[in-house]
Amino acid sequence: MDSKVRTISCPFCNSPIPVNKEWAVVCRNCKRVVPTRREIHAIDHYLNGSASELLETFIGYVELDPSPESWGFDKNIRLPNKLTVIYDSEFCRVKFALRPSDYGPVYATYIFYGRLHAPDDQQYMQWNNENCLCWHSNITGLTLPFIEGISPQQLAENSGDIWQSLAKDFNVFPSDYVQHPLSLHSKIWGKYGKRLFSIFDLRNPELWEEYSKYSNEYNEARHKKWNISHAIEKIC
């Protein structure tokens, strides 16, 4: 296999896409054009200065929309060196991170949900003597279909169409990689609210076990469809 070939996830339907040196490819699943190379250019979000100053600017965007504190989240910890802020509520944790992006601007917003046991700066943790993913980013591609009662097998076979159907209320075209993810999750919170947050609630282990099983079944079906060989991650 060509060592230069890598795999990215389609930002529209989450399907894996093998890429080499192309600047853009067409996703085989949803047929959309996906940029694959990072463009380095000036950004229009005034994101500059020291790490602390950059994080303060970013937090200003977060507090404007989706405004976590209005949903019962308290600002817990700032990680300036990682350009990250974490908010906690009685239900779960939400992490907002500003990171380099492969889809356009120098920076993009990444949003992760964790249960209250998730460590601040580690993606994985030991849970029931297993190494498990504890910060979760696939909200649009997995968590919302779970809430809507879509079977994991159906989701694996028709993820693009399903997401397009769910996205009608959200205006999800990713034209802005810093503010757009924040606005998208704000709209998701407005529609699903506690139904979303409760999935990650440590006080509701039965729902989490149901979601964990759903995640495993979806990934098994997806691995089979796309002939993916690496092991399925445990989640916690």
Q: Which two tokens stand for residue 68?
A: 């976590």
Is residue 125 a contact partner of residue 118, using CB atoms and an 8 Å limit?
A: yes
d(CA 102, CA 187): 24
Q: What is the pLDDT along the chain (236 residues), one digit of tens a residue?
A: 444 567 777 766 778 888 776 656 777 887 666 666 543 333 444 466 778 888 888 898 899 889 999 999 998 899 999 999 999 999 999 999 998 766 555 788 999 999 999 999 999 999 989 999 999 999 999 999 999 999 999 999 999 899 888 888 887 565 577 888 999 999 999 999 999 999 999 999 999 999 999 999 999 999 998 888 888 999 99
Q: What is the pLDDT of residue 1?
A: 40
Tokens of 119: 């460590």
What pLDDT score was predicted for residue 220? 95
pLDDT of residue 43: 41
What residues are paired with 7 via a beta bridge? 18
Sequence-separated contacts (24+) of 57-61 with Cβ below 8 Å: 58/83, 58/85, 58/96, 58/98, 58/109, 58/178, 59/85, 59/96, 61/109, 61/178, 61/179, 61/182
What SS3 class is residue 56? helix
Contact yes or no for 93/79 (Cβ under 8 A): no
Which residue ranges make up each domain of the chain? 1-37, 38-235
